[in-house]
Amino acid sequence: MIRRGAVIVLCAFLSGCAFYHPMPLPESPDYTTALPPSLSPGPLDMEDVAKAAVLRSPDLIASRRKADIAEAQSFAAGLLPDPQLTANVDHPSAAGFSNGYALGLSEDLQALLLQPAKQATAKAAADQAKLSALWDEWQTIEKACTLYVQKVTADAKVAGLDRSVNVLSTQAERSSKALETHDITLDQAGADQAAALDAASQRDTAARDALTADAGLKALIDIHPTMSLQLAGLGEPTTFTKEQLTAALQTIRKTRPDLLALQAGYKSQEEAVWQAILSQFPTISLGITRAADTSNVHTTGLGLTINLPIFNGARGSIRVQSATRAELYAEYQARLDQTTADAWRLWEEMQILQEHIGELKSKLPGFRKMAEAGHAAYANRDLSPATYVVMQTSLIARESELLDLGAALWTDNIALHTLLGAPYVSDVKAGTK
């Protein structure tokens, strides 16, 4: 403690430096039990969920702290290097002599030469960190919207399958009683039981999917796991035309944060290569000294130290930095190529999904009408139980398929918007916790 106190007093005396303050780690979760007041009242829509995620996501908060580190490093790189002060005293042991001393002040001139390049490198790195944090926000928006779609879809499937389970379970009970009285065969009773069990299994799977999406959303917006989230229904997604997709891909390098971050990283590496080039020149330190020997003769001198670049000459550093630049160039090109490939794949997949959804929507009213007529006929004993079960299970399958196709279309559409530099929910403002 005495040593730490001495260091603090010395720093304060020299330059008014910062003081140490402890920052203990948290001892418990900090979930909130209330949603941000800026959200709309009632059931949350997709924009509400995305906004809450950007405001409260713990991962985003950590990402922004990383950007703060890069900003601090940029500030540090802008500071001039400190000069070096040397001092010594000679105390003679014989009488008739004075105490000798020497004082020297020197500065590394090469550090001053490299200063602009170092500052430009750090500035580009800070820009890269900010853009990377923005890309993290966009990906969080995509994740929040995707979980929203999964939750709403799973809830809708659970509701539909609940109704089907009730109908098929009732039929299974009737079949069991009829089997006891030998009014139907064993295979028919078994088929009815299997249909009821299959529907119940599908409902349980959908319920687990809803629970998984619900837990993911709550973790993303950092609310307590026991809170209830009420979500609004889904409408129709807005999709890109072929012309819009082509135009967006032509400007993608100017709009998407991760590509802009890679550009900033490449600029930072360009400056690192330039630093390595400048490091070829000799290291020069210039200093001035004031001294007195023990005979009390005072002198003033000028010192020059030069590092001769004979064996090293920064050749290794130049090669390393140039190779790193080549790697970043290749990474950027690969990201551009992959973006184009992914965008066209998603767009073509969406065309298939839209066509399939259109066909199913045109046929589903007929399925429902047939199932309703079958239910009435079955109630009047004009339809066999086997046919009735087949009609009900077929309707369940088609309705579940339509929900799954709609969720797939929404998910692809959300991903494509992010991929093209136009997130589906684009007016969300970042905040801090």
Tens-place pLDDT, residues 203-212: 898 999 999 9
Residues 378-419: pLDDT tens digits?
777 777 777 777 787 788 888 888 999 999 999 999 999 999
> Residue 83 to residues 196, 378, 408: CA-CA distances in angstroms?
84, 96, 63
Percentage of the chain modeled with pLDDT above 70 = 85
**Phi then psi dihedrals of residue 105, to 5 deg:** -130, 125
Res 8 pLDDT > 60: no
**Taking the model in full, what pTM does it have?**
0.76
Question: Nearest to residue 399, comparing CAs of 377, 366, 373?
Answer: 366
- What does the pLDDT average to over 220-230? 84
- What does the pLDDT average to over 33-55? 75
- What does the pLDDT average to over 6-13? 48
**What pLDDT does 208 receive?**
94
Q: Where in 221-282 does DSSP place strands (E)? A: none
Q: Which residues contact 271 (CB under 8 A, 6 or more apart)?
A: 117, 118, 120, 121, 124
**What pLDDT does 16 receive?**
53
**What pLDDT does 150 receive?**
94
Q: How far apart are CA 190 and CA 172, in angstroms?
A: 8
**What pLDDT does 46 receive?**
86
Question: Counting every residue, how long is the chain?
Answer: 433
- What does the pLDDT average to over 15-44? 68
Q: How far apart are CA 341 and CA 333, in angstroms?
A: 13
What structural domains does the chain harbor? 47-81+113-280+313-419 (1.20.1600.10)
Beta pairing class for 298-307 and 84-90: unpaired
* Helix pair angle (385-419, 315-379), 10° resolution: 150
Residues 131-155: pLDDT tens digits?
888 888 888 889 999 999 999 999 9
Beta bridge mates, 223:
32
Question: Nearest to residue 146, comparing CAs of 349, 411, 337, 418?
Answer: 411
